[in-house]
Each structure stands twice: as structure tokens, then as C-alpha cells.
Structure 1
Amino acid sequence: MKQHPIFRYLYIFYSFVFVIHIVNVFIESDNLNYILGILALIMLAVSFAGASRLFKILGSAFILIGSVVFAASGQSIETIPALLTSNMSLLTLLAMLPWMNSVVRSGRFDQSLNNLLKVNVSDLGKLYPRSSITTLTLASFLNLSAATISQDVLKENLRPLDKKLRDSFIATATLRGYSLALLWSPLEILLAVSIFTTGVDYVSLLPWLLMIAAITFILDSIWGRFHYKKYAYENTNKQSINMKEMIKKIVHLLVALVLFLSLVISLGNLFNLDFIFTVTILIFPFAFIWSLIMKRRRSFWTIGWNTWKAKTNTMQNFIVLFISLAFFANSIDGTPFLDFIQQPILAFSDYPIVIFVMIQLIFIFMSMFGIHPIATIGILSGGIATLLEFMNPVSIAIVLVTSSIATLTVGTYGLVVQLTAVNTGQNPYRITINNLLYSLFFGGIGTVVAYFLL
């Protein structure tokens, strides 16, 4: 069924639903929200056939548990559509992200920054922080594409080295740099979900996330410098680069990022819009105006349109997950089932550090079995609601963000680890083992910061 021609045009139906959602954010109509719920139900049914096996299992589990609790609550079946729309903002954000990716590609920032990896250095220890910071910078805009772009360049440059050493270097430098960018990037869905779940302001969270990212990057770079410095390296593909031009490109990207963040914060405060929605409606006009300034309008449209259609047509996994998760979360709200989830958390209410560590370990454990961190947040959502009643929401948000992002480097069945395994031809479990201590350390820094903010 996935191969049926109709699946090439799902982007039209999905976009129609997302536009209705955006309109309803402004007019706040209960009737339109109900229609949106019916459309969400259709989206769920249509997308289920195209979802992967893992997401079908997760979605089915959320729907089954939610249905049992819903039936026990005695609510009318007519109320179901209204329970399905609470995560529509996250899906709309996901649909808009490819446009920011496209404007960076049209400006050829990805090619320019990766030239940094082709400059010769004397050993791998010096190449490690450079590889990490390049991936980090690209990932701020390109997300998953940044990791694969950096890996392709490194794989070519490190070809003369022993395969085991080459694979280890690529899996640590690129995945860790990738994770540190997503920790604070306004375009990262895990950050958006954590903010959505806890209700904190992005502005109050950003300084702490930047601090955690800086500390982790510095310490990991020191580790990489000493761990790999014993391996000599001579790049056979070395080339000269114009450092002045390179610095201009990096400054250009940083200015664009700061401007985008400033606009998100300013417009959100001015019109009293939440963070996720502000980012969603700002992405396209910002990217388009940026392409005009760079005089890359034609390439932006060509890359953007094709990328957006392809990405929107393949949103089935997230549609199944988010809509089923909305039904699950809204069904258990205020029921005895929620009390059952809350009991273990309340038992450790006097020991918040224990709760934080438990949350971190749950994320890592679940990720090793293919459970997406967004689904883990959904599973923990009932307990998180309880924590927010007696703990600083910023602390909870920090733990959620750092714990979920840290899993990206160790999630054996996660997309970025699987892509890295394919790119390098190594076992994904080997990637998990290589990054496990880093993941624990990364999440641990977040836990410590969160604890001191209580």
C-alpha cells in the first residue's frame, strides 16, 4: 500500500489539516477543533499503513491503553475527536522544518563548513574538536543531514586508517557534536516536546541549555584531544581554504541563528504566542527572506519544494505516534490510572536527585530497545504532571531535554545511530557502547544543573 501513487500526494491532505490548525490557533473555535479532531482520526488511519513496524506497535499500545481507560471513564464516544488535537502543533512544526534545511543548503553553507574537515592536521586529536564543532554548527540548521554530511567527508579523509579506529572516530565526533546542537536549537522537536510538556518558556531554558552544551563540548573535546592524539594523521585530500571566507560563512550562520531566535522570542511575547507555534509560522518567511538576501531564491524553491514534499509525504511515523499519544494522554488525565503512574514518583518526592537519575536511565534504557524519546516522554507524561506540582518546571524541562537528546548517541535502533551504522559499515551496538559513557555524562550534567535550580 505504501507504493500506491496516492501516497505521493499525502502532503496535500496533511498540509490542509495543518493550515486548519494554524487558523484555529488564532480564532480558537471549538467547532473547528472538533472538525480538526475528525481529520486527525482520518490522518491516523491513513498514516498507519505507511508507518514502520515499531511505530505501529507504539501507536497501537497508546490507543489500546487509552481506549480501555476511556471506556472505564464512561465518557461519550463523541468526545474522542476533541482528544486527538493536542499534539497538532508539534506535527505542524515537523512539516515546516525542511524549509530551514533548504535555505542553508541553497546558500551552500554545508559545503563551505565541511571544507574545514579537509584541512590537514598532524593527528586525530586535533581533528576531533574540529569535526565535532563542524557537525554542531551544521546541525543547528540541518538537523539529521548534518551528521551524514560530516560523516561522508570524514569517511573519505580517514580512508587510509584502520577501519575500527576510523569508525570509532566518526561515531564519537559526529554524533556527539550533533547532540550538542540539538540540545538548544529552536528547530529540534525533542526540545519543543519538552517545552510543550512542562510549559516553560524557551527564554528561561536557553541560558542553561547553552551552558550545559558548552561544558559538555569542552570536556568532550579535551577527552577527544587526548584519546586520539596518539594516532598520526595525514590527509591525502588536503586542500587550501580561504579562512577569511570561511569565517564570513560561520558569522553569517551565527547572525542568522541569533536573528531567528530574537524574532521567535519577540513575536511570541508581542502576540502572546507559545514557542512551538511561533517557530512554526516564522520558519518559512524567515527562510524565504534569507534566500532573497543571499540571491538564492531559485535554488531555495527548487531544493525546498522537493524536500518539503518528500518529508511531508513520509511523516506517517510521527503522525501515528503523536495522535495516538494525544489520545492516550488525554484519556488518562484525571483517572485512577494516572494515580497508579504517580505513586512511584511520589514515593521519592523528597529525593529529587533520585527521580532525575531514574528519568535519565529510563530514557537510555528505552532507547536501546527502539523506543523513541518522544514516546518515552509520553509514557512519563502522567508522572511529569505530578512533578510539576512540587518541583521547578525549568528543572524538569532540563532533565527531559538532556536525557532525551543524550539518547540520540546511544539509541541502537534510533535513526541517527542506524544511519551512522550504514554509513560506516559497523554494528549499531558498537556505536552504542562507544557513546554510552558520554550519554550518561551528558545527561548527568543536565541532572546536576537541574538539581541546583530546584
Structure 2
Amino acid sequence: MKNICKMALLVITFLHVIKLFMPVNLELLTFFTALLFMLGLFMQKKGFRTITLIFFALGISILVYYKLPFPLWISSLTSMTNIIAIIVVMQLFAIPIEVGHYSDTIEYWLKKLFKKESSLYLFAMLVTNLFSSFLLFGTVPVMVSLFNKALKNNVRDHQRFFATAIMRGYALVLFWAPGAVIMLLVMQVTHVSWSQLFLPGLLLSIIGLLTSYGLEHFSGLNKSIVTKPLPETSSVAQNAPKQTAHIILVVIALLVLISLFEAFSIGSATGRILLAGLLVSTIWIVSFFKNAELKSVLSLYWKGGITQATDFSVFFIAVGLFAGAVDHSGILSHIQPLLQGSVNHLGLYSIIIIPLLFILIAVCGIHPLVLAVMFGKILLAVSLPLSSVSIALILTLSASISFIISPFAGMSLMTAKFLNVTPMEVSLKWNLLFCTIFFNRRTHFCLCLAWIVERFCHTFIIV
């Protein structure tokens, strides 16, 4: 069953790469999508399986009730398989990270440069932010292996230190990282391009990182730490500058390639991210062709790494079916007058109420990825005094905060598991104050600046 799921994931990814240059057989894509869904359900964790089945049942019910034609069933079922392909490709970046022992480089800089808890905290957030841009959910185990030993030995309350740095560093990359799942969903729902979101999203991310650093620094995180640096003659010390340059170059290459593909109108918005990720990860892996460890790491990836995408893949198939059914059924047109009346009554306050409602529902257990689709459809159905880019930023902001403070979100559960603490500690106890500050006046200011950046880009760059 696992091998069939692996093959289905690879075929879906391959078909979406081919689709960038020529039409693909829709029946073939539908077959492997259905195959992955049916077999993948048995491999899903219980929590994911429940929410997947709920949205699948809702989608089927809407399609049947409104007697929608079968071609719409097929297009809805495969509507989010492009996101599945991107998840599979982005997981490839874990291979060169493991083969090249880049974790040793991070440990070297950690021991060499940082003498205060606050500066180490900022470093941990920045490294998490950088790695999350291409490792996504795989960032947590990598960060734990990088920092855990050093933090245990040198930082008081190291679990809180680590949990907040990881959660905030990861969540704040969602504003600009081209491979982030929430970014892809928001782009798909709001029909905006990554280049339109990058600059305002990066601005929000930077201010979020600085807010987090300031909060921790002024709340007492300023104790000196003692670390024993590695000898400058060691191979790790000699390779550190070069490997640091590799990581930075990978991120820059991803961003530049996506921008170039967009400038030359190559593929769709998500297709450009898929192609850029595939090219950069492949080149990085090939650069280790002569490394003796490559074969064993590739073998481990095939045995277990690629199947990590199954949970999300099956989930996205169900959500895609539901979103397609809602799109074509006309359900939103029935509730649009009520929504429009509420928005008209609230006016600009709706910009505050919508993210708050999103976050509160997420804290109650509904996954932020599901809410991004649902709220995106609703917001685009009503007339708001906002552009599509501003709506996309609001959705991303809401999802980012939800990923931090929801004890049911995957990042909270994963971080809690690796640090041997509870999800409630990771989410609400340690991160609620930061999320409140970030969401408050600073965020409204950020959104205003983001709107200005968006207008500037539209006027002077796009035009």
C-alpha cells in the first residue's frame, strides 16, 4: 500500500511538471488522485482522517444535491493536486541538508557568535525562518537536532525558549515563502500571484520577528551564556562559511527563479513555484553526486520521507473537492446578501473582526488550512473596501497566528512532541502574549504599510 501511494504521489508530481509545458491526460491525473485518496486514507493519522472524511462527504453531498455534471466532479477532485506536487518537491530539500551535514554549520555559528540569550534567540528564530522556507514541516526535527543540546546546557527554561523560537520562526515565514502550504492555498483561493504577496509579506515577517525578539529581550531574556567554540582548524569551522553561503544561495535562487518565471509568464502561479523548487533541489542534490552518503539518504527518503506528504495530500484532495463543489454550486450567492450586510454594517472594523473570527475558530479545533479556503471563498464573494492582495494578507495573517496559538495545529503538536511538553504550553501559555501584540496595533500598521508596498509594486514594477 505504501509503495502504491509513493508511486501515485510521484506520478501526480510528474504530471504537474509536464503540465507546465503541454496538456496532460486529465483521466490519468484523476485515476492516480483517486488511487492516492483511497489508499492514503488508511495511512492517515486519526485526526487528519476525520476532518478529511468530513470535507469529502460535504463535497460529495453538494455535488449530488445540486446535480452537478461529472466533469465538475473530476475537476474538483484534482483542483488542489498542484499543491500536493509542490509538497513532494519541497521535501527534496531535506536530502542535501542531511547529506551535507549542514546542521554542523549552524552549531558552529551558534557556539562561535552568541554570548547572550536574546541574541541566540533571534538567531534561532532566523535560522528556523530560513530553513522553513523550503523544509516546511520538516523544520522541527532539524531545528531540534541543531539546537537542543546547546540550549539544554546553556539556557534556563530551554523548552519555552525553543518552543517560542521554533513556532514564531516557522509561522512568520508563511507570509513570504513560496513553498509554504498556506501561501499556495491563499494564492489559489484569491487568484493573486506570489510576487504580489512577497514584499508586503516579507515586511510583515520582519516586523513579527523583531516584535518577538523585543518582547523576549525586555522580559528578561538577557542572561549571558557560555559556549565552547569549535577549534578553527576543524573541518566544520573551515566549511562553515561555504555551507552558509549555500543555504542563502538556495533561498535566493528559489525567489529569483520564481520571479523570472513570472516575468516570462511560464506556467501558473503555483506551477512556477513547483518548477523552481524542482530545479533548485535537483541541482543541490546533484552537487553531492560523489558523496558516499547520498545513496543511503536517498534510500531513507524513499522508504519514509516521501510518505510524510500522504496526510496532507489526502486532506487536500478532500478540501479541493469541497471547494470545487462550493464554487460551482452557487451556495455563496445565497448567503452573499447576509454577508454583505454584515460587512457594510461593520465597515473597516470587518478587517479586525474577520481575522479574530478566523483565529477563534482555529483555536476551537478547525484546521487553519480549511479556514483559509472557506474564509477566502466568503471574502471574495462580498464587496470589501480591499484589494485581493489585502484579502490574501489578512488570510495569511490569520492562518499564521492560528498555527501558533491553536493547540490542535500540526506545528503545536509536533513541537510539543519533540520537546516533551504539552500542546497547550507550546501554543497558548507561551505564545498568546506575542500573538496578541503582533495582531494588535503593530499588525494594523503593518497591513497599511503592506498596502502601500502593494500599490508601489503595482504602479512602478508591474506596470
Fold conserved between structures, TM > 0.5: yes
Query: Which amino acid in structure 1 is aligned with residue 320 of structure 2?
Result: A
Instruction: Measure the CA separation in 2 of the matches of 1:295 and 1:352.
Output: 58
The runs of 5 or more residues in structure 2 that have no matched partner are 453-463
Query: SS where residue 264 of structure 2 aligns?
Result: helix
Report whether the alignment pairs 1:273 with 2:270: no
Q: How many Å apart are 1:186 and its aligned residue? A: 1.7
Question: Is contact 2:190–2:376 with CA below 8 Å preserved after alignment?
Answer: no
The match for 1:261 among 255, 260, 264 is 255
2:184 alignment partner, one of 192, 205, 208? 192
Greater shift, 88-97 or 154-163, is seen at: 154-163
> What's the CA shift for 1:301?
5.3
Q: Which moved more, 1:220-229 or 1:113-122?
A: 113-122
Which residue number corresponds to residue 213 of structure 1?
Answer: 205
Match in the other structure for 1:42? 35
Deviation at 1:92, TM superposition (A): 0.8
**Residue 151 (structure 1) aligns with:** 144
1:91 and 1:152 mapped to 2: Cα distance? 27
Given candidates 175, 188, 210, the residue that maps to 1:183 is 175
The code of the aligned residue for 1:392 comes to: S
Cα distance in 1 between the residues matched to 2:78 and 2:383: 23
Deviation at 1:329, TM superposition (A): 1.4
Q: Which residue of 1 aligns with 2:66?
A: 73
Counterpart Cα distance in 2 of 1:290 and 1:310: 21
Displacement, 1:11? 0.7
Shift of 1:189: 1.5
CA contact under 8 A between 2:332 and 2:381: conserved in structure 1? no
CA shift, 1:206, in A, is 0.8
* Match among 374, 377, 385 for residue 369 of structure 2: 374
Q: CA RMSD in A?
A: 3.0
User: More displaced, 79-88 or 191-200?
Assistant: 79-88
Name the CA distance, whole Å, in 1 between partners of 2:27 and 2:412. Answer: 39
**Count of aligned residue pairs for this structure pair:** 445
Structure-2 separation of matches of 1:301 and 1:363? 45
Structure 1 window deviating more from structure 2 (72-81 vs 205-214): it is 72-81
1:330 equivalenced with 2:324 (yes/no): yes
Q: 1:406–1:303: structure 2 CA closer, same or farther, 3 Å change rule?
A: farther
Mapped contact 2:106–2:146 kept (Cα < 8 A): no
Summarize deviations over 1:278-313 as a string: whole Å, max 9, x none: 221232332232344566665455434532552332
CA gap of 1:126–1:67, structure 2 versus 1, over 3 A, is: closer
Match of 2:109 among 91, 96, 116: 116
Q: Which amino acid aligns with 2:431?
A: N
Aligned counterpart, 2:353: 358
**Displacement of 1:447:** 4.9
Q: Tell which deviates more after alignment, 60-69 or 305-314.
A: 305-314
Instruction: Quote the offset at 1:449 in angstroms.
Output: 3.6
Judging changes above 3 Å, is the alpha-carbon distance between structure 1 residues 334 and 349 closer, same or farther for their aligned structure 2 residues?
farther
The AA in structure 2 aligned to 1:253 is I
Shift of 1:259: 2.2
> Which TM-score applies when normalising by structure 1?
0.86
CA 1:205–1:8: 2 relative to 1, 3 Å: same
- Once the two structures are TM-superposed, the CA of residue 88 in structure 1 deviates from its matched residue by 1.2
Distance 1:10 1:145, change over 3 A: closer
- Partner residue, 2:381: 386
**1:450 equivalent in structure 2:** 447
User: Counterparts in 2 of 1:99-114, with a 5 A limit?
Assistant: 99-114=92-107
Please point out which of 398, 404, 424 is paired with 2:399: 404
Aligned residue in 1 for 2:276:
282
Partner of 2:118: 125
Q: State the Cα distance separating 1:75 from its structure 2 match.
A: 2.5
Q: Percent of counterpart pairs with the same letter? A: 17
Contact preservation (8 Å) 1:191, 1:401: yes
Give the whole-Å Cα distance in 2 for the aligned partners of 1:308 and 1:365.
39
1:415–1:111 Cα change, 3 Å: farther
One-letter amino acid matched to 2:260? S
Q: Deviations over 1:16-71 (max 9, x none)?
A: 23323443454336xx2244234322322222222222222222222222233222
Match of 2:52 in 1: 59
Work out whether 1:437 is the aligned partner of 2:433: yes
Q: What is the deviation of 1:210?
A: 1.3
Amino acid in the other structure paired with 1:103: P
Say if 1:143 and 1:188, in contact at 8 Å, map to a contact too. yes
CA shift, 1:14, in A, is 2.5
Alignment correspondent of 2:159? 167
Deviation at 1:93, TM superposition (A): 0.8
Which residue in 2 is equivalent to 1:3? none
What displacement does 1:274 show?
1.8
Distance in 1, matches of 2:320 and 2:148, equals 41
Per-residue CA distance 1:361-393 (angstroms, 9 max, x = gap): 234333334433211112224203315776311
Q: Which moved more, 1:197-206 or 1:36-45?
A: 36-45
TM-score, length basis structure 2: 0.85
Letter in 2 for 1:325: V
Output the CA distance in 1 between the equivalents of 2:73 and 2:231: 62
Q: State the alpha-carbon separation in 2 of the partners of residues 299 and 95 from structure 1.
A: 22
For 1:127, what is the secondary structure of its paired residue?
A: helix
Shift of 1:396: 1.0
Equivalent of 1:203 in 185, 191, 195: 195
Instruction: Report the AA paired with residue 205 of structure 2.
Output: A
Q: Which residue of 2 aligns with 1:89?
A: 82
Are the aligned partners of 2:340 and 2:383 in contact in 1 as well (CA < 8 Å)?
no
Stretch of structure 1 that moved more, 9-18 or 295-304: 295-304
How far off its partner does 1:246 sit? 4.0
Shift of 1:320: 2.4
Gap regions ≥5 residues in structure 1: 1-5
Match runs of 1:219-234 below 5 Å: 219-229=211-221, 231-234=223-226
